[in-house]
Amino acid sequence: MTRFRILTTAGIAALTALTAWATAGSTGVALAVTVGIAATLTVPVVDRWPVAGTLAATALAVLFPVATPAATFGVLVVAQRRRFAVVAVVASAGVVAHAVQGLVRPAGGLSYWWWLLLMVVGYGALVGWGQLSQARWALVASLRERARRAEAEQAARVAEAQIQERTRIAREMHDVLAHRLSLVATYAGALEYRPDSSPERLAQAAGVVRDGVSQALAELREVIGVLRDDADPPGPQPVFADLPRLVDEARAAGQTVRLEDRASGQPPELVGRTAYRVVQEGLTNARRHAPGAVVTIALSGQPGTGLSLEIGNPYAGGPSGDGLGLTGLSERVTLAGGQLMAGPVGDTFQLRVRLPWPT
């Protein structure tokens, strides 16, 4: 038994002893003590089987006032644990039992009807107290369940946000590193296949490789810097105005790029960054699947009409890559509210993107 149950049983036993002492004259000491012990023993039974234990104590209370403390305590426990219909039946049985008790053993100095009224009021108070406690416990349990559910949902949202952040970082890593490393691979290939070049050209190519690797490492640190608590804030993200620099880097690596820019003004940051990544991916794919081919880039648009990008290069059969670059690019464009179409058109592989450009 828990400490609370022990204290409860001790309290009922004390009340029963006082009642036995007060009524021993009319009942007899031996009988009062015996019934009092029997009534007290119903208290642990009430804790486990509330209805059965309470009805047992109520049956004793029909003839013996010494059982009244246990019987009324049982009604309180039933009111705390059972639905109202069951509580009403048990409480009514208690009122009837004490009504009979008042007839058999009238209370001295108090009329029968006042006695009966006090019993009805007392049992009503016990029922109300017990039902109120039950409602309060149910409310507390529901609040705890809601808190537990909220914590679980919060944990799920945090996990989902972490997955989305990792996915975003993976896209950034692909976009940045694929472009840089493809430039490095181009110059490394030149060093491998043209060992007879002049020392000056070899040194220039080696310097480009070194710079490309350094830039790739620097951009990689910027992308994954958000994963470190002690990292400095990542560097500035590319914007639409950085497109000419991107094209110049591709040309410096030996790629032939024709840029036609008819866009009026600077689009919003998200749109501009998405356009930059689209061009970056287009140049990387052309360098990988159509080396040495001419790449055409056409930009057009203005506020209110949207931004259009078209990137084309000669198509020489199915792509040899895994297609993850275009898949990630499609997701990026969709998140920006745009549309992407990619595929062969005749003998040209075209990448077409339409992005919103609000006024």
Overall residue count recorded for the chain in this entry: 359
The residues pairing with 290 across neighbouring beta strands, listed in sequence order, are none
Per-residue model confidence (pLDDT) at position 234: 52
Tokens found for residue 214: 């350094």
Per-residue model confidence (pLDDT) at position 187: 67
How would you write the pLDDT of the chain (359 residues) with one tens digit per residue? 466 566 666 777 776 777 766 665 556 667 767 777 777 777 777 778 888 888 888 888 887 777 778 888 888 888 888 888 898 898 888 888 888 887 877 766 778 888 788 888 988 888 888 889 888 888 888 888 888 888 888 778 777 766 776 676 667 666 666 766 777 777 677 666 666 677 777 777 777 777 777 666 666 666 665 555 444 445 567 889 999 999 998 888 888 999 999 998 889 888 998 999 899 989 988 888 888 889 999 999 999 899 999 999 988 665 444 455 677 788 788 878 899 998 898 889 999 999 999 87
Please answer whether residues 211 and 184 qualify as being in contact, where contact means their C-beta atoms are separated by less than 8 angstroms.
no
Look at the block and give the residue holding tokens 């009807």.
113
Amino acid code (one letter) for 74: G
CATH of domain 240-355: 3.30.565.10
Tokens found for residue 21: 């002492």
Tokens found for residue 123: 């049992």
Domain ranges of the chain: 3-105, 166-227, 240-355
Per-residue model confidence (pLDDT) at position 301: 92
Amino acid code (one letter) for 307: L
CA dihedral of 317, 323, 325, 329, whole degrees rounded to 10 = 100
